[in-house]
Amino acid sequence: MSQQSKSARSSTFIIILFSLLGFTPDLAAQDDTTTILEEVENEITKESHQPEEVKHVYRMNYWVSIPFSLVATAADIYAIPNIIKGKKGLTDEELAGLSSNTHNKFDRWALEQDPTKREVNYKGSDYMLPVVIASAAALGFDKKIRKDWVRLLMMYYEMHSVTFSLYNFSPFGPAFQNKIRPYSYYDHFPEADRKGGNNRNSLYSGHTATAAASTFFMVKVYSDYHPELGRKKYLLYGLATVPALVEGYLRMKALAHFPSDLLVGVVIGAVCGVVVPDLHKFRKHNIQLGLVNSPVGPGLSLKWSPKYTQDLPSAYGLSLK
């Protein structure tokens, strides 16, 4: 086998290895192996070679996301009747021992409501939540975002499945917590209803978590497609808390949660709405490993682009042969 063929095979192997490690090879060939190497590189890194107008902001592996989301959904469907609503009811001793003095001043706010308004606020919170979830469709009015609607819809579903699973199975949620809802503190309601096992699910609010996840997801996606917003995006994140806080207020008026339960829900939902899209985001590596070909054989290329130089026309580089 000729030296040239050996060099081509060695170069091809190195390119494939770098690509699997997540690096984009950078070639500077000077012999006949150039054509072979470029064909392999273009095949492996074709996503990064797309024209600017068709590049995607987020990567989506449907073979992973779809099964994961479906399994999470099935687990959540099982958890609702068997874990969340399958708890034992309150005993007479527990009910008699309920007192507002065991709560801080902030949470006592939930015990100072008009119980006759519970039903209207409960229905209001249930009607509002689907509207907040569906409001993410407004992203479709943006031309840059609309072209990626399939992957964004899948990512939105995945994000909600993560949010709901955290509510059902995380240590912060009712699967491990048995905090009693404000509803059970009110003598206005029948004793049998106040003893219901579902009243052990005050911590934390799944409604506010879902609302916050929806709105923070919208802002995260919009900001990623419009990096020119700069720091203005933080104003949008501030506005994103409004629907979740309104939802939380209605849930408190419905005697379903204490204020601290609502805030925990907002924080967890906001984190899910931001982190899930961020995990799918394409990123530029500021360190690139590549291959340099010369008449004496292939060599390694290392390019480092400091963050402060990434916006410049060129960056400093270092080649090792």
DSSP codes of every residue in 266-309? HHHHHHHHHHHHHHHB----SEEEEEEEETTEEEEEEEE--GGG
Query: Quick one: 163 and 208 in the same domain?
Result: yes
Q: Which pLDDT value is given to residue 17?
A: 47
Residue 167 falls inside a structural domain: yes
Alpha-helical (H) ranges within the chain are 3-20, 34-44, 62-79, 92-96, 105-108, 118-134, 143-146, 149-169, 191-194, 206-225, 233-253, 259-280
Please give the Cα distance from 24 to 184 (Å, whole number): 60
At residue 4, the 3 state secondary structure works out as helix
Contact predicate 202/256, CB 8 Å: yes
Q: Which pLDDT value is given to residue 32?
A: 43
Query: Quick one: 192 and 114 in the same domain?
Result: yes
Query: Quick one: 294 and 145 in the same domain?
Result: no
Q: Which pLDDT value is given to residue 30?
A: 41
Residue 217 falls inside a structural domain: yes
> What DSSP state is assigned to residue 251?
H
Residue 110 falls inside a structural domain: yes
Query: Quick one: 93 and 32 in the same domain?
Result: no
Residue 267 falls inside a structural domain: yes
Please give the Cα distance from 178 to 202 (Å, whole number): 7
Q: Which pLDDT value is given to residue 12?
A: 53
Q: Which pLDDT value is given to residue 219?
A: 96
Query: Quick one: 259 and 124 in the same domain?
Result: yes
Query: For residue 282, how far is the Cα from the chain centroid?
Result: 15
Q: Which pLDDT value is given to residue 27?
A: 46
Query: Quick one: 41 and 92 in the same domain?
Result: no
Query: Quick one: 99 and 145 in the same domain?
Result: yes
Domain of 103?
76-280
Q: Which pLDDT value is given to residue 29?
A: 42
Q: How many CB atoms lie within 10 A of CB 122?
A: 17
Query: Quick one: 14 and 80 in the same domain?
Result: no
Residue 20 falls inside a structural domain: yes
- Number of folded domains that form the chain: 2
Query: Quick one: 109 and 24 in the same domain?
Result: no
Residue 252 falls inside a structural domain: yes
> What DSSP state is assigned to residue 27?
B
Q: Which pLDDT value is given to residue 2?
A: 53
Query: Quick one: 160 and 200 in the same domain?
Result: yes
Q: Which pLDDT value is given to residue 306?
A: 54
Query: Quick one: 244 and 299 in the same domain?
Result: no
Contact predicate 48/24, CB 8 Å: yes
Q: Which pLDDT value is given to residue 119?
A: 94
Block means of pLDDT (10 residues each) for the chain, length 321 residues? 52 49 46 45 44 69 92 93 90 90 92 94 94 94 91 95 94 92 93 92 93 97 92 93 96 96 96 94 62 61 53 42 39
> Is 0.85 surpassed by the pTM of this model?
no
Across-strand partners of 318? 302
Residue 276 falls inside a structural domain: yes
Nearest to 41 by CA among 21, 12, 4, 20: 12
Residue 118 falls inside a structural domain: yes
Query: Quick one: 255 and 122 in the same domain?
Result: yes
